[in-house]
């Protein structure tokens, strides 16, 4: 039966919130799309873990009246949010290693269509599965991850993952590629983070990221019931707003495509626990009886996208009168 494997230490950080402006255009003029449904009794570890099943639980969802960006408002104070992520322990994520390795293997093959193998930084690496896949395929890869448990576990397995966030990250040699898999929606300042990433990349370097598409048909159809409205997801991009965000950081967008992921059937069913309520145990027993739980299945509902973008070459920057 599914369970929550996420937790934090007994000394949980205080969860404070603040009203924020639009991260894309800076406007403070927004309209509420959906009211808050946040259950403050839930532990922060459950709200912040990668495998959280707290679907639909979040602060009010608003939309900027100027540029159309959708986001949570209010949002956690950055210091409190970082403290919560540092303390998260999420062993269920580790149990889904097989499916995630397959997913990241596919993502790496796509990435290699746009960039030759070189130095790679993965932001929000968690247990380092993508870094592991990249290393095995000839990349000089490393990662950064706020969770002390996740980064420590990865290092114990020989995967080079530093604990921390991009705000306190320093490097002496620029990277050929930087990746953010299901990370940008968690950031308190996506625009600022992308500016930092642009400086970390060498001219011609590649940015690859995946995130939800708030204007996908299924998202529009489900409305407030769309499961990705969660406390840990602070921003909800459309293809258009994501493109604008990346371009304003100085990148040239190469492609935005649908993202597919591979999971065990048991894990897919476990994501329905909160929706099914008392019917879930019956479905879970049926899956066990049929012996189909370990099977890997591809999931693509059209509401997750991958974006690839390139930092301009020096000559292009110079021709535009910009500073490299």
**Burial code of 164-175, b = ≥16 C-beta within 10 A, e = fewer?**
ebbeeeeeeebb
Closest CA to 261 of 302, 224, 228: 302
Alpha-carbon distance values, 140 to 114, 134, 296 (Å) = 16, 8, 29
Q: Could you state, in order of their start, the residue ranges of all structural domains in the chain?
A: 261-299
Of how many residues is the chain composed?
324
**Whether 168 contacts 148, CB under 8 Å:** no
How confident is the prediction along the chain (324 residues), in pLDDT tens digits per residue? 333 334 433 444 457 899 999 999 999 999 999 999 876 566 666 788 887 878 888 999 999 999 999 999 999 999 999 999 999 898 888 888 888 998 999 999 999 999 999 999 999 999 999 999 999 999 999 999 999 999 999 999 999 999 999 988 888 899 999 999 999 999 999 999 999 999 999 999 999 999 999 999 999 999 998 989 999 999 999 999 999 999 999 999 999 999 876 665 565 555 555 665 666 567 667 656 766 556 666 777 889 999 999 999 875 554 454 444
């Amino acid at each position: 039966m599914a369970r929550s494997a996420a937790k934090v230490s007994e000394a949980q950080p205080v969860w404070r919130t603040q009203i924020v402006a639009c991260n894309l255009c800076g406007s403070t003029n927004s309209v509420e799309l959906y009211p808050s449904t946040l259950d403050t009794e839930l532990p922060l570890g459950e709200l912040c873990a990668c495998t959280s099943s707290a679907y639909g639980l979040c602060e009010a969802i608003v939309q900027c009246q100027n540029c159309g960006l959708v986001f949570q408002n209010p949002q956690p104070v950055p210091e409190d949010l970082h403290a919560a992520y540092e303390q998260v322990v999420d062993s269920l994520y580790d149990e889904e290693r097989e499916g995630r390795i397959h997913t990241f293997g596919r993502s790496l093959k796509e990435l290699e269509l746009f960039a030759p193998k070189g130095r790679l930084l993965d932001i929000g690496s968690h247990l380092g599965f993508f870094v592991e896949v990249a290393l095995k395929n000839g990349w000089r890869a490393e990662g950064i991850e706020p969770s002390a448990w996740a980064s420590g576990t990865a290092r114990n397995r020989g995967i080079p993952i530093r604990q921390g966030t991009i705000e306190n990250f320093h490097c002496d040699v620029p990277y050929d590629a930087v990746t953010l898999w299901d990370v940008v929606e968690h950031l308190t300042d996506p625009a600022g983070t992308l500016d930092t990433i642009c400086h970390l990349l060498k001219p011609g370097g590649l940015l690859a990221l995946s995130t939800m598409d708030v204007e996908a048909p299924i998202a529009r159809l489900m409305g407030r019931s769309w499961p990705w409205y969660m406390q840990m997801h602070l921003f909800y991009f459309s293809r258009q707003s994501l493109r604008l965000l990346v371009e304003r950081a100085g990148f040239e967008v190469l492609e935005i495509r649908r993202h597919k992921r591979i999971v065990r059937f048991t894990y897919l069913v476990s994501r329905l626990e909160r929706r099914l309520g008392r019917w879930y145990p019956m479905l879970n027993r049926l899956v066990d009886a049929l012996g189909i739980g370990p099977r890997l299945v591809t999931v693509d509902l059209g509401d997750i996208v991958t974006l690839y973008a390139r930092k301009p070459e020096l000559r292009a920057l110079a021709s535009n009168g910009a500073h490299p």
